[in-house]
Amino acid sequence: MSTTINAEAAVKERYASGAQTREAALCCPVQYDPQYLKVIPQEVIERDYGCGDPSQYLRPGETVLDLGSGTGKICFIASQVVGAQGKIIGVDMTDEMLDVARRNAPTVAERVGYANVEFRKGRIQDLGLDLERLDAALRERPITDAASFLKADELAAELRLKHPLVADQSVDVVVSNCVLNLVDSRSKGQLFEEIFRVLRVGGRAVISDIISDEPSPEHLQNDPELWSACISGALTEERFLQAFEKAGFYGVTILKRDVEPWQTVEGIEFRSVTVEAFKGKQGPCFERNQAVVYRGPFKEVLDDDGHRMERGRRYAVCDKTFNLYRKSPYREYFEFVEPREPIALADAKPFDCSRTALRHPKETKGQEYNATTEAASCCTDGGCC
């Protein structure tokens, strides 16, 4: 269902004003780590319109993109978590928000001792288009008629190609705090595709947002106040997680889910969740005779590539899946079996990843393997035998 309101205009107007004066109705209580707040000026902290804290899942050295950075609080916290070797890019479409964030960036940089945060103007569903470059070009060649309107459209396409606001595969982690719900329903699919595009292979998204337990009916979706208040644009919990899957992510996980709703409207509960999703399951599959065993506790699991595995059985996997399972979020759920005779990647044959097959132990040990050994010693000092 598409809305009939101009959601983007309602959002821009609300947050232009929220950048200048704190709007209590937009604030959802969040506990940030106080050690990181010390260096952040008060006007940034008080105009906090987040609903979670994705910055706590970041690691030193990472390049991070914050979608809908507002007055910059998450960027300034993230700056300290990733340290001087990391980098933070905040993107927002509202000038008034960018003004507050940019005005405070030098103060934070001076207090932490390095400058690793920058703010860019763009729409998060169109991260290719640098709105400040477009503004500058349109000042020189303003739109006055249909022909100049079409020309501007061409110019935007050229800018996306030659000077993208955020380049393909340039970011380790995309974070966002209470913004995805604000994007117009028609652009939500494109938004998730853009998050996927800018992440490097092996990167991840960590998104805090408001979700609902039931779909919002049309009359709520067409209420600009409720939309801009992070309510009626929220996806249902189920559709929020599916949106990551649809864009090509794997390992989609709920890291935090508030038990209590932030708000309830006409019986529909709106609450904050933080979700993590990984990029990197795409690409060729090679056979290196590796196997994995799902450890449990469930009787069986199904991964994002359609591999269904029963607990305790040994499955053949391609090299890519083997390596994905060795990393977060899968690592702790699997045992890994390497072949006795390793196959170099350069010599590996293609592997058909569309089916799930068991792997006989002889395939990893080698058909000729026939060893008999002494029992391995299990004795330790003062031990059992």
**Footprint on this chain of ligand SAM (rule: CB under 6 A):** 11, 15, 48-50, 68-70, 73-74, 92-94, 97, 123-125, 177-179, 182-183, 230
Residue 98 or residue 277: which is nearer to ligand SAM going by CB? 98
**24 backbone φψ class: left, alpha, beta (φ>0; ψ -120 to 50):** alpha
| Helix (H), strand (E) counts: the chain | 13, 16
State the chain's maximal CA–CA distance in angstroms.
91
Residue 272 or residue 321: which is nearer to ligand SAM going by CB? 272
* Distance, CA of 170 to CA of 201 (rounded, Å): 9
Whole-angstrom CA distances from 181 to 214, 216, 230, 312 are 14, 12, 6, 41
In angstroms, how far is the first alpha carbon of the chain from the final one?
Answer: 70
**Backbone dihedral angles phi then psi of residue 73, each to the nearest 5 degrees:** -55, -50
Q: Are 49 and 26 in contact (CB under 8 A)?
A: yes
Give me the least distance between CB of 160 and ligand SAM, in Å please: 15
Residue 182 or residue 243: which is nearer to ligand SAM going by CB? 182
Q: Are 238 and 310 in contact (CB under 8 A)?
A: no
Strands (E), the chain: 63-67, 87-92, 117-121, 171-177, 199-212, 250-257, 263-265, 268-278, 286-287, 290-294, 300-302, 308-310, 314-317, 334-337, 349-350, 357-358
Give me the least distance between CB of 73 and ligand SAM, in Å please: 5
Give me the least distance between CB of 119 and ligand SAM, in Å please: 11
Give me the least distance between CB of 60 and ligand SAM, in Å please: 22
Give me the least distance between CB of 148 and ligand SAM, in Å please: 25
Instruction: Collect contacts of 347-354 with beta carbons under 8 A, ≥24 apart.
Output: 348/286, 348/287, 348/288, 348/319, 349/286, 349/287, 350/284, 350/285, 350/286, 350/287, 351/285, 351/286, 351/287, 351/316, 351/318, 351/319, 352/285, 353/285, 353/305, 353/307, 353/318, 353/320, 353/321, 354/306
Give me the least distance between CB of 340 and ligand SAM, in Å please: 52
Residue 206 or residue 309: which is nearer to ligand SAM going by CB? 206
Residue 191 or residue 291: which is nearer to ligand SAM going by CB? 191
Residue 46 or residue 341: which is nearer to ligand SAM going by CB? 46
Give me the least distance between CB of 281 and ligand SAM, in Å please: 27
Give me the least distance between CB of 255 and ligand SAM, in Å please: 17
Residue 105 or residue 291: which is nearer to ligand SAM going by CB? 105
Residue 226 or residue 337: which is nearer to ligand SAM going by CB? 226
Residue 93 or residue 171: which is nearer to ligand SAM going by CB? 93
Helix (H, G, I), strand (E, B) or coil at 215: coil
Give me the least distance between CB of 227 and ligand SAM, in Å please: 10
* Distance, CA of 254 to CA of 277 (rounded, Å): 9
